[in-house]
Structure 1
Amino acid sequence: MELELSLLLILGGVALLAGFIDTLAGGGGLLTLPALLLAGLNPVNALATNKLQGTFGSGMATFMLLRRRRFAETLAGLRRPFLWSLGGSALGTVLVQLTDSDALQVLVPVVLAVIALYFLFSPGAGSVTRAPRLSARLYERTVVPVIGFYDGFFGPGTGSFFSLTGVALRGQDLITATAQAKALNFASNIASLTLFVVGGKVLWVTGAVMIVGQMAGAWLGSHAVLRGGARLIRPLIVLVCLAMLLRYLFG
């Protein structure tokens, strides 16, 4: 399926905005996936192409934040949760093709509401590092693969879920939690994208144009994380979660 140049440029612009938002708060797919569907792609091609451009965006954000030393963990320390996220996503991507995901239409709005309320009514959350409620090992082996599974199985809001659990369960400050969320989201994207590519579902020309916009937005977003910090991230997480909640309820 070939899209007109004007439509490709619009999709590139949408991807730029989505990459910026996704780096700070997650939920960029709230913009890009509907845009691809409105452009006339069938749902499977839209999901696959969206995963392609999203993978490059999360990869760019991870690279920039790693370069600026915003990860509390070393590369060795990130290896285990990265692999757990990748494995969970791979399993979710396989199972979504075999099972009915309608139950998530009920569950996801509830989770999004919880995230929005947590950051809205806990203004001190993520402002400083706190004592973790879960050990690193338990977090890596339970929470991370579950969220990775969700990303492969369904997807929207994965970055917000990783950020929330980093703050609430691991006691991380919000910038550290956001940085780690990008790395773990990158892992889950890689696994899901690989399976879509093997299945021949990706539209490469459309994806390539959106990759340019997504990477530019992620580059800008990573700088905003460093400069704006929690003051910018927290309200964006609330707004994105509420926007996604409204979409699920009334879309």
Structure 2
Amino acid sequence: MVYKIIFLCAAGFLSAFVDSIAGGGGLISVPAYFMVGFPTHYTLGTNKFSATCGSLVSTAKFAQSGKVDKGILKVLLPFTLLGAATGVYTVLLLDSNVLKPIVLTLLLGVGIYSFFSKTVGMEDNFKGATKKTLIIGSIFAFAMGFYDGFFGPGVGSFLIFGLIKIYGFDFVRASGNAKAMNLMSNFTSLVLFAVKGKIFYLMGIPMAIFMTIGARVGTKLALKEGAKFIKPIFVTMSLGVAGKMIYEMLILK
């Protein structure tokens, strides 16, 4: 038991460190839970618990540094919440695997486009929100909330990329706002898993502690080093999640 907790804490730190910078932390934390023998539902529930703690710390740190746009989030977060709740309800009725080919294609597109584009997300071109961008952003927020509640892999990449395209953010500002939106969808899913008793707190709490530390260190580096530091990690995690999905579809099928 002790060795399992130590392993999970190390994985949790690394997961939150990466996730706070560019998303994709679940690529590390979810397999870690499976490796110590967690059943699927307990893996998802306990991971949501620990990941939400890390997201909370990361979001707070970005907000303190002025990289979270509260005016925009006041509009977008309710749609993220609504989307996440709808997604969780829908996944209970439908097979989430129907999304895999679509998500895989989009993830590869986001990662490859960001890799080859020298300008995307490197400068903050945000000039303020307009009625048009708020409407587009609200639709996007609902879609991402729904996706996170329904399926989830790569949501951090989609959030960051979408916010860059809609509002002209650089990677730092996009990461800050994406973490706030991801926190909302994570918390919505967490409540449902908690109500259903699918969280193993004995291991989830220690991992959550190390996730908060990892999130704090990662966010501090992201804010200090800027977009040039975030971009390669963003591309790596986007393609990494896509690679994991290809592996699951071809090898584990």
TM over 0.5: yes
Alpha-carbon distance between aligned partners in 1 of 2:145 and 2:98, rounded to the nearest angstrom: 18
| Percent identity between the two aligned chains | 32
Alpha-carbon distance between aligned partners in 2 of 1:118 and 1:130, rounded to the nearest angstrom: 19
Shift of 1:130: 3.5
Per the alignment, residue 152 of structure 1 pairs with 149
Alpha-carbon distance between aligned partners in 2 of 1:36 and 1:131, rounded to the nearest angstrom: 39
Match of 2:118 among 115, 123, 131: 123
Matched, 1:104 2:99: yes
Match of 1:6 among 3, 8, 12: 3
Shift of 1:119: 1.0
User: What number of residue pairs does the alignment pair up?
Assistant: 246
The alpha-carbon distance between structure 1 residues 79 and 131, as it changes in their structure 2 partners (threshold 3 A), is: closer
Per the alignment, residue 113 of structure 1 pairs with 108
Match of 1:58 among 49, 52, 55: 55
TM-score (norm: length of structure 1): 0.94
Secondary structure, aligned partner of 2:83 = helix
Secondary structure, aligned partner of 1:103 = helix
Letter of the structure 1 residue corresponding to residue 9 of structure 2: G
TM-score (norm: length of structure 2): 0.93
Shift of 1:139: 2.5
Secondary structure, aligned partner of 2:96 = coil
Per the alignment, residue 218 of structure 1 pairs with 215
CA RMSD of aligned residues (A): 1.6
Shift of 1:96: 0.9
* Residues 230-241 of structure 1 mapped to structure 2, 5 A cutoff: 230-241=227-238
* Residues 63-78 of structure 1 mapped to structure 2, 5 A cutoff: 63-71=60-68, 73=69, 75-78=70-73
Match of 1:47 among 26, 44, 55: 44
Per the alignment, residue 17 of structure 2 pairs with 20
Per the alignment, residue 181 of structure 1 pairs with 178
Shift of 1:169: 2.0
Instruction: Write out per-residue CA displacement over residues 120-169 of structure 1, whole angstroms, 9 at most, x where no aligned residue.
Output: 01111112233789833212321111011111111121111110001112
Shift of 1:170: 1.8
Instruction: Write out per-residue CA displacement over residues 71-130 of structure 1, whole angstroms, 9 at most, x where no aligned residue.
Output: 2x2x34422211211111111111111211111221221111011012101111112233
Gap regions ≥5 residues in structure 1: none
For the 8 Å contact 2:20–2:215, the answer to whether it is kept is yes
* Residues 236-247 of structure 1 mapped to structure 2, 5 A cutoff: 236-247=233-244
For the 8 Å contact 1:84–1:140, the answer to whether it is kept is no
Instruction: Write out per-residue CA displacement over residues 192-232 of structure 1, whole angstroms, 9 at most, x where no aligned residue.
Output: 10111111111111110110111011000110111111111
Letter of the structure 2 residue corresponding to residue 23 of structure 1: S
Secondary structure, aligned partner of 1:197 = helix
Gap regions ≥5 residues in structure 2: 249-253
Alpha-carbon distance between aligned partners in 2 of 1:35 and 1:9, rounded to the nearest angstrom: 11
Secondary structure, aligned partner of 2:4 = helix
Match of 1:86 among 75, 81, 84: 81
Matched, 1:167 2:168: no
